Amino acid sequence: MTKIQNLIEQLQQLEQEREELVKKPMSPPGVWIHQYVVRKRYPDGFIGEYIYAKWQADKPIFQRNPKKYGHRGSGNFTCHQHIGRVDSNTGLGSVPEVKEAYREWNNRKRLEVIDQALAEIEIALQKVMPQEDDET
C-alpha cells in the first residue's frame, strides 16, 4: 500500500511541475545547441577565438534567412540557426540570446525527463494495482 501511495505522490508532484514548466519558453522538440569555435587572425598577430552557439536539428525546421544571391541548398528551411556569441578571448562575453536559448533548451530537456518519469510511474502503477485487486 505504501508503494502505491509513494507512486501516486510522485505522480502528482511531477504533474504539477510539468504544468508549470509548459508555461515557460521552450525550444522545439528534437533540437540541441551546438557550440563551435571561430579563430580570427588580426594584423598585429593576435589570434582571437570566438565561441558561438547555434540551434541544430536532424531535419530542416529553421526558416532560412533570405540571401541576396539565393541559397546553395534547396528549400526554405535549414537544419541549423545561429544564436550568438558564447564567449571569446578578446573580452567579449555572451549575448543575451545565448542565455535565453540555453534556458529554453533546459526547459525542453526537463520536460522530456518529466514525461519519461510519468510514463514509468504509470507503468509501475499498472503493475502494482492488479496485485492490490488480487489481495482483496
List the domain range (segments joined by +) for residue 56.
Answer: 2-135
The cell for 69 is 544571391
CB crowding 52-74: b at 16 or more within 10 Å, else e: bbbbebeeebbeeeeeeeeeeee
Q: At 5, which amino acid appears?
A: Q
Give per-residue pLDDT as tens, 37-81. 999 999 999 999 999 999 999 999 998 877 767 666 667 889 999
Give this prediction's pTM: 0.77
Domains of the chain: total: 1
Query: What is the crossing angle of helices 2-21 and 96-135, to 10°?
Result: 150
Between 17-31, 72-86, 88-102, the lowest mean confidence (pLDDT) is in 72-86
Residue 86 burial by CB count (10 A; 0-12/13-18/19+): exposed, middle or buried? buried
